[in-house]
Structure 1
Amino acid sequence: GVNQECLSLFLRHMILAYNKLSFSQVYKLYTALQQYFLNDEKKCGIDENDMELTNTEELDGKMEKEELDIPLREEEISCSGPLSQKQAEYFLSQQASLLKNDETKALTPVSLQKELNNLLKFNPDFAEAHYLSYLNSLRVHDVFSSTHSLLHYFDRLILTGAESKSNGDEGYGRSLRYAALNLAALHCRFGHYQQAELALQEAIRIAQESNDHVCLQHCLSWLHISEQKIFDSCVLLEHSVNKSLHFGLPYLASLGIQSLVQQRAFAGKAANKLMDALKDSDLLHWKHSLSELIDISIAQKTAIWRLYGRSTMALQQAQTLLSMNSLEAVNVGVQQNNTEAFAVVLCHLAELHAEQGYFAAASEILKHLKERFPPNSQHAQLWMLFDQKIQFERAMNDGRYHIADSLVAGITYMGLGCFYTSPTALCLSLISLFSLVPSHSLSLLAYANFSYLTSDLLHALPLLLPIRPLFLAIPVFHLKLFHEFDPSSRGSWFLLCLCV
Structure 2
Amino acid sequence: TPEMPVISSSSVLGLFFRGMILVFDSLSFSQVTILYNQFKHYYEEVNGPAQIDESENFGGSLMDSITKETERLTCSALGRESSHLGGTKSESGGYFSHKQAEYFISRQGFLLQHNEKEAMSPKELQTQISNMLQSNPALAEAHFLSYMNNLRVKEYCTAVHNLFHCFDRNTNFTDVNLANKTVEEDVSRRYASLNLAGLHFRFGHKEEALAALQEAIRMAQETNDHVCLQHALSWLHRIEDAGNARTASLIARSVDKSEEMSLPNITSLSVQALAKHNAFFTARPSSVIEYMLKSDILNCQHSQPHFMCVSYAQKAALWHMYGKRESSSMCSQLVLNLDTSEGGIYHNGESVCLALCNIARIFADEGNYVLALEVINNAKQRFPPQTQHAHLWMTYEQEIMFDRSLLSQKDELASQALTGLQALDEDEYRLRSGIFKKEKGDVSTALSTLTRLKEHVTTNSQKFSPEFPCRVMLALADLYIQTGNHISATSQILECVMKSEEHHLEYLHSLAAVYLAFVQLLMRLPEKGLSLLDRHMVTVLSHGSCLDRARTLYCYARCTVADGNRLSATDRKSSLLQAVNTMTTVIELFKKLDAHMRVKDATYYLARLYHELGYTAERNKCAYEFKQLDSQFPTHSQGTVLRL
TM-score, structure 2 length as denominator? Answer: 0.58
**2:202 paired residue among 185, 189, 214:** 189
Q: CA deviation at 1:5?
A: 8.0
Q: Which residue number in structure 2 is paired with residue 116 of structure 1?
A: 129
Question: What is the letter of the counterpart of residue 391 of structure 1?
Answer: M
Contact 2:279 2:288 in 1 (8 A): yes
Question: What is the letter of the counterpart of residue 465 of structure 1?
Answer: A
Contact 1:101 1:330 in 2 (8 A): no
Q: CA deviation at 1:235?
A: 2.0
Q: Which residue number in structure 1 is paired with residue 474 of structure 2?
A: 462
Give the whole-Å Cα distance in 2 for the aligned partners of 1:399 and 1:301: 35
Q: How does 1:4-403 map to 2 (within 5 A)?
A: 10=17, 12-16=19-23, 28-29=34-35, 31-32=37-38, 40-41=52-53, 78-159=91-172, 169-228=182-241, 233-326=247-340, 328-331=341-344, 336-401=346-411, 403=413
Q: CA deviation at 1:202?
A: 1.2
Map Cα deviations across residues 259-294 of structure 1 (whole Å, 9 max, x no partner).
121122222322211111111111111111111101
Q: CA deviation at 1:376?
A: 0.8
CA 1:316 to 1:5, structure 2 compared with 1: closer, same or farther past 3 Å? closer
Secondary structure of the corresponding residue to residue 277 of structure 2: helix
CA 1:283 to 1:114, structure 2 compared with 1: closer, same or farther past 3 Å? same
Q: CA deviation at 1:34?
A: 8.0
Give the whole-Å Cα distance in 2 for the aligned partners of 1:443 and 1:248: 50
Question: What is the letter of the counterpart of residue 29 of structure 1?
Answer: L
Contact 1:164 1:170 in 2 (8 A): no
CA 1:399 to 1:416, structure 2 compared with 1: closer, same or farther past 3 Å? same
Question: What is the letter of the counterpart of residue 478 of structure 2?
Answer: P
Q: CA deviation at 1:164?
A: 7.4
Question: What is the letter of the counterpart of residue 362 of structure 1?
Answer: A
Map Cα deviations across residues 405-449 of structure 1 (whole Å, 9 max, x no partner).
44335434422499xxxx9x99xx9xxx9xx96566578779988
Q: CA deviation at 1:351?
A: 0.7
CA 1:287 to 1:220, structure 2 compared with 1: closer, same or farther past 3 Å? same
Give the whole-Å Cα distance in 1 for the aligned partners of 2:351 and 2:248: 24
Give the whole-Å Cα distance in 1 for the aligned partners of 2:367 and 2:323: 16
Give the whole-Å Cα distance in 2 for the aligned partners of 1:79 and 1:164: 39
Q: Report the more deviating stretch, 152-161 or 440-449.
A: 440-449
Give the whole-Å Cα distance in 2 for the aligned partners of 1:20 and 1:182: 38
Q: CA deviation at 1:26?
A: 7.4
Secondary structure of the corresponding residue to residue 138 of structure 2: coil
CA 1:80 to 1:361, structure 2 compared with 1: closer, same or farther past 3 Å? closer
Give the whole-Å Cα distance in 1 for the aligned partners of 2:228 and 2:410: 54
Question: What is the letter of the counterpart of residue 140 of structure 2?
Answer: A
Give the whole-Å Cα distance in 2 for the aligned partners of 1:395 and 1:454: 26
Give the whole-Å Cα distance in 2 for the aligned partners of 1:340 and 1:17: 49
Same amino acid, percent of matched pairs: 34
Q: Report the more deviating stretch, 355-364 or 378-387.
A: 355-364
Question: What is the letter of the counterpart of residue 279 of structure 2?
Answer: A
CA 1:288 to 1:9, structure 2 compared with 1: closer, same or farther past 3 Å? closer
Question: What is the letter of the counterpart of residue 195 of structure 1?
Answer: E
Q: CA RMSD in A?
A: 4.1
CA 1:206 to 1:266, structure 2 compared with 1: closer, same or farther past 3 Å? same
Q: CA deviation at 1:160?
A: 8.2
Contact 2:299 2:305 in 1 (8 A): yes
Give the whole-Å Cα distance in 2 for the aligned partners of 1:166 and 1:352: 60
Q: Does 1:453 align with 2:459?
A: no
CA 1:397 to 1:18, structure 2 compared with 1: closer, same or farther past 3 Å? farther
CA 1:40 to 1:236, structure 2 compared with 1: closer, same or farther past 3 Å? same
Give the whole-Å Cα distance in 1 for the aligned partners of 2:126 and 2:93: 14
Give the whole-Å Cα distance in 1 for the aligned partners of 2:163 and 2:26: 28
Q: Report the more deviating stretch, 293-302 or 148-157.
A: 148-157
CA 1:109 to 1:417, structure 2 compared with 1: closer, same or farther past 3 Å? farther
Q: Where do 5+ consecutive residues of structure 2 fail to align?
A: 57-89, 486-511, 513-644
Map Cα deviations across residues 459-491 of structure 1 (whole Å, 9 max, x no partner).
443212123588x9xxxxxxxxxxxxxxxxxxx
Map Cα deviations across residues 134-183 of structure 1 (whole Å, 9 max, x no partner).
1111111111221121122212222389x979967522211111111111
TM-score, structure 1 length as denominator? Answer: 0.74
Map Cα deviations across residues 366-390 of structure 1 (whole Å, 9 max, x no partner).
1111111111111100001111111
Question: What is the letter of the counterpart of residue 279 of structure 1?
Answer: L
Contact 1:261 1:277 in 2 (8 A): yes
Contact 1:445 1:463 in 2 (8 A): no
Question: What is the letter of the counterpart of residue 155 of structure 1?
Answer: D
Q: CA deviation at 1:403?
A: 4.2
Q: Which residue number in structure 1 is paired with residue 418 of structure 2?
A: 408
CA 1:355 to 1:19, structure 2 compared with 1: closer, same or farther past 3 Å? farther
CA 1:4 to 1:278, structure 2 compared with 1: closer, same or farther past 3 Å? closer
Contact 2:271 2:291 in 1 (8 A): yes
Contact 2:105 2:141 in 1 (8 A): yes
Q: Report the more deviating stretch, 81-90 or 295-304.
A: 81-90
Give the whole-Å Cα distance in 2 for the aligned partners of 1:118 and 1:285: 39
Give the whole-Å Cα distance in 2 for the aligned partners of 1:150 and 1:9: 36
Give the whole-Å Cα distance in 2 for the aligned partners of 1:93 and 1:42: 36
CA 1:250 to 1:42, structure 2 compared with 1: closer, same or farther past 3 Å? closer
Give the whole-Å Cα distance in 2 for the aligned partners of 1:165 and 1:417: 55
Give the whole-Å Cα distance in 2 for the aligned partners of 1:119 and 1:104: 22
Map Cα deviations across residues 207-251 of structure 1 (whole Å, 9 max, x no partner).
111111111111122122222369562222222222222222221
Give the whole-Å Cα distance in 2 for the aligned partners of 1:360 and 1:442: 35
Give the count of matched residue pairs.
Answer: 424
Give the whole-Å Cα distance in 2 for the aligned partners of 1:88 and 1:179: 22
